[in-house]
Amino acid sequence: MKKWLAILAGLVIMIPLAACGNKAVATTSGGKVTESAYYSSMKSTSSGKQVLQQMILNKVLEKEYGDKVKKSAVTKEYNVYKAQYGSSFSSVLSQSGMTASSLKEQIRSNLLLKEAVKDYSKITQAQIDKQWKKYEPSVTTAHILVASEDDANAVIDKLNAASADKKWSTFKKLAKSKSTDTTTASTGGKLSAFDNTDTTLQSKYRKAAFQLKTGEYTTSAVKTSDGYEIIYMIKHPAKGTKKSNLNNLKDQIVTANMSNSTKLHNVVSKVLKKGNVSIKDSDLKSILDDYLTSSSSSSSTTSTTTSTSASSSSDSE
């Protein structure tokens, strides 16, 4: 049930392509490696080209939408990831070759791109009506993950035996002693809030959770690929009206567009064309041809940010 950082999925190695002097990057007994030699070597690699594409896109996005992405928005999303991983957050970043600073940069890139997608998304009433049918407000749950149905039933029996005012405290104690999810067990199994657009939790989990009212728990085990789940609903707010959730519905439609590779490609193409990009290195003249010269849509997502957005739509069953 770990919420893997979707933003890490499209990560490429951040290579400083801008370096082009004769200053030594490294020295050896056999001679030195200069910035110009390093640049010449890396610009021909796919990862090097991806970095340059991302750097160009970020420059244009910052110019067009930088004032719309506040530092507080980046911090808020960063803290969601940090809270989900708890004490293992630093090691997860390290294993992914990232730092807190580089993660925040990736988050900002993604939020800038979302502003661009929002800008170019023409949302119709029909789309809003369709989104409303599947809309669920953000809920907060806790879970106990066990290996077998018998183990799950034993946990449920103990919950059933607890008095009404002791259900939640009993659940937290059982989570700490029984749950195999070591990331959340120490906090009573509590997970980050999620709504109908969530792609980090398995669909069976989400479906079962949305059927619960605040203070209720699943009275039969929910089988997922992780094992057997017992879910407790900590907070399930009322759905409200379509009108009161209009901004949420529009945001969900934009988020869905972020996961549509064709729409995303078209938006990036428009953004780059508006950005008046000029490639000065003759060897890299064609690096943006897929966006700047082709009129056809492409499903490829060559930059770090675009591949991040597309990958976040995956949902394991």
Q: Is residue 46 part of a domain?
A: yes
3-class state of residue 173 by DSSP: helix
Domain containing residue 216: CATH number: 3.10.50.40
- For the segment 18-57, what is each residue's pLDDT rounded down to a tens digit? 445 688 989 999 999 998 888 889 888 998 898 899 999 9
Over the stretch 126-152, which tens digit does the pLDDT of each residue have?
A: 999 999 999 999 999 999 999 999 999
**Structure tokens that stand for 241 in this block:** 């009206």
Q: Give dist(CA 96, CA 260) in Å, integer.
A: 25
Please indicate, yes or no, whether residues 118 and 85 belong to a single structural domain of this protein. Answer: yes
Last residue of a domain, one of 235, 256, 274: 235
Mean pLDDT rounded to a whole number for the chain? 87
On whether both 19 and 115 belong to a single domain, the answer is: yes
Alpha carbon distance 94, 310 (integer Å): 24
Residue 214 lies in a domain: yes
Its sign, for the CA torsion 178, 93, 259, 79, is positive
Domain range for 252 is 6-125+244-311
* Position 107 pLDDT exceeds 90: yes
- Answer for the pair 116, 63: CB distance below 8 angstroms, yes or no: no
Please report which helix (H) or strand (E) contains residue 25, including its range: strand 24-28
Q: What is the pTM of this model?
A: 0.74
**Binning pLDDT at 50, 70 and 90, where does residue 293 land?**
confident
What total of structural domains would you count in the chain?
Answer: 2
